[in-house]
Structure 1
Amino acid sequence: MNLVQAVTSTVGASQLSLQNTTNQHLADVKKTLGTLQDGMATESKSVMKAIEELGSKTSSLEKAVTEEAKAVCEADKMRRLEFALQNISIVAKDFIIKYAQDNGQPSSGYHSYRYSSRSENAETLFRDILLAFRRNLGYYITNYYSVVPSGSYDEGRFKSTINQEWCKAFQDKLVLKLHSLLGKKPVITTDNGGRIIISYE
């Protein structure tokens, strides 16, 4: 009986020791896992922080590049306009321009006209257009037209509407001359009210 008790006691002690050892190992594993998780979390935070900083630097770089590109374009535009303003006479000397002045509804009668012709100084018009471009504005060129072929009936008088072919001829010639001055072709558009505008771009 004493032998059985001794064996039982020994087995119990061994089991207890094994259990304690196992528990200690489990505790060590948990501790190691916890340390590893903390390290990974710290590392992950460091990586995320680095990514965020890189993203911020990239955004700042993109912004700086965009601003620099805009500054270069603006400087190029001013250089072109300055050259054009100094050389207007080169392209304006042979450009005859007319403007159809709207006189309102004419009175009845065979010789009544709504529009009458007014000659325009080409250099003045070119200068006004270029100065508008320099302020980032467009310039209205509605009712301007080029001198018509000889023999055309009373070139500057229109009973109710303006000859759009003459206006188109003026616009095409104006764009061509400004293109030769600027090295860049300006743009002609029509606003919601039907008015014609010439713009730098």
Structure 2
Amino acid sequence: MATPDASEPTTVPLAGWESHFADGEGFRASDDRELQLLTQQLPSAAGARLLDVGCGLGGYAAGLARWGYDVLAVDWASSAVAAVRDRYQDLVPNLTAQRLDFTDEQAVGRLGADAFDVVTMRLVYPFFTDKRQVAERVRRLLRPGGAWAVTTPLAERLSARRYIALSVGEVGELMSGWDSGVWVDLEPGGLRCIVLRR
């Protein structure tokens, strides 16, 4: 997959993601520590529905299902969804996967309003070009008291790969308009998880 210039807005063609996941390539895997830090900020897993947007090969979604969440893992790449279904058959019905283009208003609308207690986006949110629209969709999907967890690198710490990260200003924009927000630094100088409450 070609790496864009750090100063340009980025969209990755679907074909690029399809081949990436079909080749079994993932991204930085989550670990137990990251999941523990995250779940401390989320609603209780007991009976909670969780939507993992941009699930990739499903490791993060599987980890959250093992913590007790009822997880729907979605990705716009069919190869990613197939990988999740194949790798984590043992977690069904706590983990299901389906293809979903989160930029498609009608497709997201079919999930239903107030349908989830938690929405997660791990290493995904910076790739959306219309972030305000994404936030509005997440708000509609969340039940009152629900949480949106966005895990992302910070651009100021990743200048060579700016396109996969959020700037401090973008983090501020992301956090505005929510009832509350906290963040957890998952690794020094690197990954941050921002948890917003409706």
Task: Please state which band the TM-score falls in when normalised by the shorter chain.
Answer: under 0.3
Work out which of the two has the higher radius of gyration on C-alpha atoms and give 1 or 2: 1
Q: TM-score, length-normalised on structure 2?
A: 0.24
Q: TM-score, length-normalised on structure 1?
A: 0.24
Bigger helix fraction: 1
Report which structure shows greater RCO (CA 8 Å, sep ≥6): 2
